Structure 1
């Protein structure tokens, strides 16, 4: 039996507090509900967490953080914090990403709103049809359902 298979029974015997202590001092422990999150900690999912941490920050046209953002300023800031460089505008960001289908989208991918061939807005896909974004003047960074089918998806390389 591998050590990984023994972890749940060890946690039952040792208790969760002991398992957390072991993890804190460098032990290898799998905590239910956290293993998948740890494995999925890609730059994109880390950038998504950065964007979510800016919840309630005011929108300001042209702002790139750390306390005020416009849409592409939020995406640029979020990816910069995890070591990925994005250009300044939504359209430039669209041109810099690997374009993917809606069926391939994952948390942390960029969602580009367009009218014809004109990209006018961007947010970070949060899953379940929602994005983190900086909507418009007078609004704040927030989680919102995607409101249109006129979107394209891009993955930061």
Structure 2
């Protein structure tokens, strides 16, 4: 039905706007974890960006930045800059994360290297960068760098 002065066009625009508004209100209610997941993804992306910005910084055992790092010092510093506090050591960081499978890993998740089956066997940590690579502070004499994961003895954790 066509009304004078384009009234049907205005009504259809109002109807579309109402539908979009209703969807914006309803979707977070229907998917309560969606906002939390988006926040976690943003946090992880920020932390990954901070770690990448430290490329070339020298490794120093016990250092937590801003210019020198050990492995857990880099992850602690990166997430702190993104707005989330982590414990100091790799093993404690593993204990504070939500453990996830390799198939569920996402960019920004933590990658924990271990030698056994308990959390106390965690000896190294980096931030997953995608395509099987991590940003990490490897060892004495090395610098913060992007590197492929070199072993299958890893666990993943989401902050």
TM-score, normalised on structure 1?
0.74
* Alpha-carbon distance in 1 for matches of 2:45, 2:104: 15
Question: Could you tell me how far apart the structure 1 residues matched to 2:155 and 2:56 are?
Answer: 25
Would the alpha carbon gap of residues 40 and 91 (structure 1) be closer, same or farther in structure 2, given more than 3 Å must change?
A: closer
Corresponding residue of 2:79 = 79
Other-structure match for 2:149: 146
* Unaligned stretches of 5+ residues in structure 2: 1-12, 14-38
Against the structure 1 CA distance between its residues 149 and 60, is the aligned structure 2 distance closer, same or farther, given a 3 Å change threshold? same
**Structure 1 stretches (4+) deviating beyond 6 angstroms?**
none
Please tell me whether residue 135 in structure 1 is matched to residue 144 in structure 2.
no
Paired residues for 1:86-105 under 5 Å = 86-105=86-105
**TM-score (ref. length: structure 2):** 0.73
Give per-residue Cα distances to partners, 1:25-83, cap 9 Å, x unaligned: xxxxxxxxxxxxxx996100110000000000000000000000000000000000011
Deviations 1:99-150 (A, max 9, x none): 0000000000000000003000000000000000000000000000000000
Count of aligned pairs between the two proteins: 119
More helix by share: 2
Q: Is the 8 A contact 2:135 2:146 kept in 1?
A: yes
Query: Does residue 121 in structure 1 map to residue 137 in structure 2?
Result: no
Structure with max Cα Rg: 2
The DSSP-based 3-state class of the residue aligned with 2:82 is: coil
Note the 1:38-117 alignment, pairs <5 A.
42-116=42-116, 117=118
**RMSD across aligned C-alpha pairs, in angstroms?**
1.6
Query: 2:22: which partner in 1?
Result: none
| Alignment check: 8 A CA contact 2:41 2:108 kept | no
Equivalent position SS for 1:62: coil
